Amino acid sequence: MATTTATTTVLYCRDPLNERRADAHFAAEARQLRAAGGTALLVDHDALLAGDAERAVTRVPDGAGALWYRGWMIPAGRYAALDAALRRRGGALVVTPEAYRRAHELPGWYETFAGLTPVSGWLPAEPGVVPDPEGLAALAAGLPPGAGIVKDYVKSRKHEWDEACYVPDLADPAALHRVVARFVELQGEFLAGGVVVRAFEHFVTPEAAAAEVRVWWRDGAPRLLTAHPDSPVAVVPEAAVEAALAPVRAAVQALGCPFVTTDLALRADGVWRVVEVGDGQVSDLHREVDRAALVGLLTADQALLRTAGPSGTTPA
């Protein structure tokens, strides 16, 4: 049976309007952590993004020790600044800046998951800078023929599918450049790392279940299965996903990061594919999942695969 340790300390983003309270999106999770015997501390996410890591950690006491983070996404450089500020106060993030970048950004995890995820290529780019058409055409030439998906190192704009995400034919340089330019425009200052182009694969939705499943890994072991946060349903085809996890487990263990999420989708040929990898600290939960399930990931000391649904119960 998993046990709980009273020493688990988690940094949550504070409410922008009340520095003594966790952001509403994470408040229930913070309450569950305290109920489990853990300690919830607050950081100022806005100050961190503005480049003031010292101000961001004002409410973290000296000598806090090992710290998890659970909050909004942080660019890898700002995450490193957060860790440095905490170290000056006698604390340190459990997930090192190097491990965070490796799991958070596609170039960090892609080679480890090659064969399990759509073929991809990328070009570094600053916010607001669109790679030239020739560079994009050369990038696309390294991918399989057919359609493609545009994103940055972290996120896509799938809700603007036709204008800023999907390219019907990667061999059409004008269409590729147009979609990339719109993507860069819409991402604005939040463009992460550069532009990624991925081969399009056709995915299907299992009957009466979520189209994407998020697997939560702690120390290389699968601890929790949930529907992707964007899914309209919380049902997970657990048996099918569990049966497909062996190669994913090997890749997660090779990646060597302590807290990772992998998003899996079912390709039309019946193969489960990894469509995204992320650092678990900044991965969101489906709205119907009991937050205690996530807290258990951070406080548990034994590897358990659990499927969390609306009740937070787990199968035998």
* Dist CA 188 CA 78 (whole Å): 17
Are β-strands 9-15 and 39-43 bridged in parallel, bridged antiparallel, or unpaired? parallel
Total residue count of the chain as it appears in this document = 316
Q: What Rg value do the Cα atoms of the chain yield, rounded?
A: 20
Question: Residues 6 or more apart from 124 whose CB is under 8 A from it?
Answer: 193, 194
Which residue is listed with tokens 């649904």?
309
pLDDT value, residue 294: 92
Instruction: Write the DSSP string, the chain.
Output: -----TT-EEEEEEETTEEEEE-HHHHHHHHHHHHTT-EEEEE-HHHHHTT-HHHHTTTSPTT-EEEEEESS---HHHHHHHHHHHHTTTEEESS-HHHHHHHHSHHHHTGGGBTTB--EEEEE--TT-PPPHHHHHHHHHTSPSS-EEEEESS-B-GGGHHHHTEES-TT-HHHHHHHHHHHHHHHGGG--SEEEEEE---EEPPTTS-SEEEEEEETTEEEEEEE-TT-S-----HHHHHHTHHHHHHHHHHHT-SEEEEEEEEETTS-EEEEEEEEGGGPPPPTTS-HHHHHHHHH--S---EE--TT-----
* Dist CA 93 CA 46 (whole Å): 19
pLDDT value, residue 312: 37
- CATH dotted code for 204-307: 3.30.470.20
pLDDT value, residue 148: 98
* Dist CA 198 CA 274 (whole Å): 12
Q: Is 279 exposed, middle or buried (0-12, 13-18, 19+ CB in 10 A)?
A: buried
Q: What is the mean pLDDT of each run of 10 residues along the chain (316 residues)?
A: 61 93 96 95 97 97 96 97 97 97 98 98 97 96 97 96 98 97 97 98 92 96 94 91 96 98 97 98 94 89 46 33
Domain boundaries defined on the chain: 9-94, 119-200, 204-307
Which residue is listed with tokens 């890898």?
76
pLDDT value, residue 315: 30
Which residue is listed with tokens 């590729």?
176
